[in-house]
Amino acid sequence: MHLVASDWLIIVLYFVASAAIGLAYTRKAGKSLADYFVSGRSLPWWLAGTSMVATTFAADTPLVVAGLVAKYGVAGNWLWWNGAFSGVLTVFFFSRLWRRAGVLTDVEFAELRYGGRPAAVLRGFRALYLALPINLIIMGWVTRAMVNILQITLNIDPWKAAIFLFGLTALYSVFAGLWGVIVTDLFQFVFAMGGSILLAVLAVQSVGGLDALTARVSAHFGSTEAAFGVIPPLDAPWLPITTLLVWLSVQWWAAWYPGQEPGGGGYVVQRILSTKDERSGLLATLWFTIAHYALRPWPWILVGFVGLIRYPGLANPEDGYAKVMVDILPSPFKGLLLAAFAAAYMSTISTHLNWGASYLVNDVYLRFIKPEASPRAQVVASRVATAVLMVSSLIVMGFLSSVEQGWKILIGIGAGTGLVFILRWYWWRVNAWSEISAMVTSFVVSLLLTIFGHSLSDTSTPDYAFTMLTTVGVTTVVWLAVTLLTAAESEATLDRFYRQVRPGGPGWRRVALRLGYGDDRIPGGALSWMNWVAGLATVYASVFAVGAAVTGSPRRGLLYAAVAVAAFLLIQRNLRADEQLAAGVDTTLEPRLRFDPGE
């Protein structure tokens, strides 16, 4: 790709603006650990939610979506679209509880929910596990995707360019903490999404418009439905009915995956904890879920199809996206798109650096090594941890061959743990050993199945369903058995948790009665279940509406759009009817800024 002066001007201006915005918040982030990692718990919902969307819009995401549709059609996205079931569950059943918990990280929750040495071990283990292997794998594959883009688009050493991007991102992440990450996320998301839409428009025009694109892609797949159908075809060779059923009925609640954890977790929870109250946390997560699944993917899908038409037979279909950029974009749009990819990459890396450092500092350094560290020492340790993660992720990148491979590795080792992460909020009997046994069993079973030739790498055989169901089944049996064979948490621990979070529901009835709360209901009561169904209708009807419009079915598109709007209005009405939530304040009897395990 040949860049002219106007392209380079846009790229330079983007980098200057990103660095300036990020570094402008250095002083604010340095006030305290809460400012550095959760923005002082003061974010409005729209800013926190947009940051979630920006974080999950990495350099890898357009590539992997383009690769999926080139191989399987639009329906190939159900590999990750099934996660909306879990995402909407987090919105209405868990976002409020996380905000009430008042912790600094999601793994600190272990010592609020559980007690004694097992809770401390669980907290320390999960902190190291998430901050190092999991976080480094994610940053590694995101950087790998950026290297692939640079290798195809520019006549420069892609490693040097990637290291420059990483270093610039680390610069404001180290000094400005989550404040810098959040505000630059907003700027970078607008930049990246605008670039994606522009590329989709120009790409479709390059093959003769939507009608020509639809005809040529339909011919490739054998029919319009096979290519553009959002509902997966039951006779597709790449998707046996067993795999589809696993995706829709098991994987979304059983498999742990960063960004769509059953019950919430990771950087999604970090943003929830950064909001100013329960209502803001719920609305932020709702906006993220709708934008993530329904609004954002379609420009990538269209470019993926254009790549399929222009470059049939690519060894790695993910490369088609970058090749389209190289061949069809005029200047200065080349510079704009490269800056947009840099924005997508930097927003994700900055979050993962800050998120991973929060575990190393809050849940390892301050919990087990130097709990008496001064506020200044805490911020210094946070900046050092961020820099260490930066260097480590570059090393991990060399071991991943594709983005899709990275996705499936994490789905595999997290299969079976989702249910315990859901039930720990709503069943008093779950203890620290429940989580420990689930994580260990899932990892061991997944590893053994891989050794013996069973993995999640190929959806076209029944092996996918066998691997997922076996891992989930064995893991669930083991952690339930361990739960019932080990001692329950002490009444003092359970009472402390219940007073702080007030999860309600039949699973906590005995504790609620003991504490004098009576038949305490879950937050939102029956309306939460109604909102979950309406939320799914909003997300999937929006997906279908855009798909119908793209394939030349405007009437069907309008019908789906009407369903989406009606479902969203129902959610809006139900949220207004929730008096506690409408007040916009936390409702626990004993609200605290942050849980102290030493109490």
- Judge whether 205 and 327 are in contact, CB under 8 Å: no
> At a CB cut-off of 8 Å and minimum separation 6, what does 429 contact?
483, 484, 488, 507
**Confidence (pLDDT) at 406:** 55
CB burial string 235-252: b at 16+ within 10 A, e below = ebebbbebbbebbeebbb
**Confidence (pLDDT) at 134:** 82
> At a CB cut-off of 8 Å and minimum separation 6, what does 318 contact?
63, 64, 66, 67, 145, 148, 402, 403, 404
* Cα 532-536-539 angle, rounded to 5 deg: 135
Mean of the per-residue pLDDT values of the chain: 86
Q: Encoding tokens for residue 7?
A: 């392209």
pTM (2 decimals)?
A: 0.88
**Confidence (pLDDT) at 370:** 93
Q: Encoding tokens for residue 339?
A: 């800056």
**Confidence (pLDDT) at 229:** 84
Quick one: which H or E segment has residue 306? helix 298-310
How many other CB atoms sit within 10 Å of the CB of residue 160? 10
**Confidence (pLDDT) at 202:** 94
In the chain, % helix, strand, coil (3-state, to 5) comes to 75, 0, 25
**Confidence (pLDDT) at 588:** 41
**Confidence (pLDDT) at 407:** 55
Rounded-to-integer distance, Cα 300 and Cα 501, Å: 40
Phi-psi region of 505 (alpha: psi -120 to 50; beta: other; left: phi over 0): left
**Residues making up the chain, counted from first to last:** 599
Rounded-to-integer distance, Cα 34 and Cα 422, Å: 26
Helix (H, G, I), strand (E, B) or coil at 415: strand
- Answer positive or negative: Cα dihedral of 381, 382, 384, 389: positive
Average pLDDT per 10 consecutive residues for the chain, totaling 599 residues = 87 84 77 82 93 84 89 88 92 95 94 96 92 82 76 72 74 75 84 90 93 92 87 76 87 79 88 93 94 90 94 87 89 87 80 88 94 89 85 69 55 80 96 94 86 74 86 95 97 96 95 93 92 96 88 87 97 88 50 45
Q: What are phi and psi of 330, to 5 degrees?
A: -90, 165
CATH number for the segment(s) 5-397: 1.20.1730.10
Q: Encoding tokens for residue 478?
A: 């083991």
**Confidence (pLDDT) at 289:** 94
**Confidence (pLDDT) at 580:** 73
Long-range contacts of 397-400 (CB under 8 A, 24+ apart): 397/139, 397/140, 397/141, 397/143, 397/144, 397/147, 398/140, 399/140, 400/137, 400/140, 400/141, 400/144
**Confidence (pLDDT) at 587:** 42
Rounded-to-integer distance, Cα 567 and Cα 578, Å: 17
